[in-house]
Amino acid sequence: MTSTLTGRAATDRAARYAKQLCSHLGRKLDTAFDADTGIGTIVRGGSVATLTCTGTALEIAVTAPTQDDLLALMAVTQNHLERFGEKNELVCVWDDATFLDEYEALRAEMNARRAADRAARDAEQPTEG
């Protein structure tokens, strides 16, 4: 059963963040952003995140064939978006809290994995001295 969930990040720079998100994720996923319409897409497997820029927010509608796919694309999108907007305290809030506990656990797992990967890469770097 296909599920859709919508979230919003309040910002007056929605187009900037949408373009940056599509550009960055486009290295590994199929993405597109149209600056004229202010609409972008991020495709991950059978899941799609549609980004819609408004004057006050970046809206993200994630549609996926399974709950696991939905949560995964939500997490990838939100984690990157919030990292890009960290200086401006950008936060994405989802409309439906039904999956919130499972979703937050998945985000924590992804962040821990990313930190471990970064630490491993740093450990492989030769030190100067």
Q: Counting beta carbons within 10 angstroms of the beta carbon of residue 6, is it exposed (0 to 12), middle (13 to 18) or buried (19 or more)?
A: middle
pLDDT reported for residue 50: 98
* Mean pLDDT across 61-89: 93
28 assigned to some structural domain: yes
129 assigned to some structural domain: no
Say what the pTM is. Answer: 0.77
What does the pLDDT look like over 44-56, one tens digit per residue?
Answer: 999 999 999 999 9
77 assigned to some structural domain: yes
Kindly tell me if the per-residue pLDDT of 14 is higher than 90: yes
* Mean pLDDT across 94-105: 73
Residue 39: give its domain's CATH number.
3.30.310.50
Domain count, the chain: 1
The span from the CA of 64 to the CA of 10, in Å, is: 24
**Residue range of the domain that includes 57:** 3-124
128 — pLDDT class (breaks 50, 70, 90): low
pLDDT reported for residue 105: 75
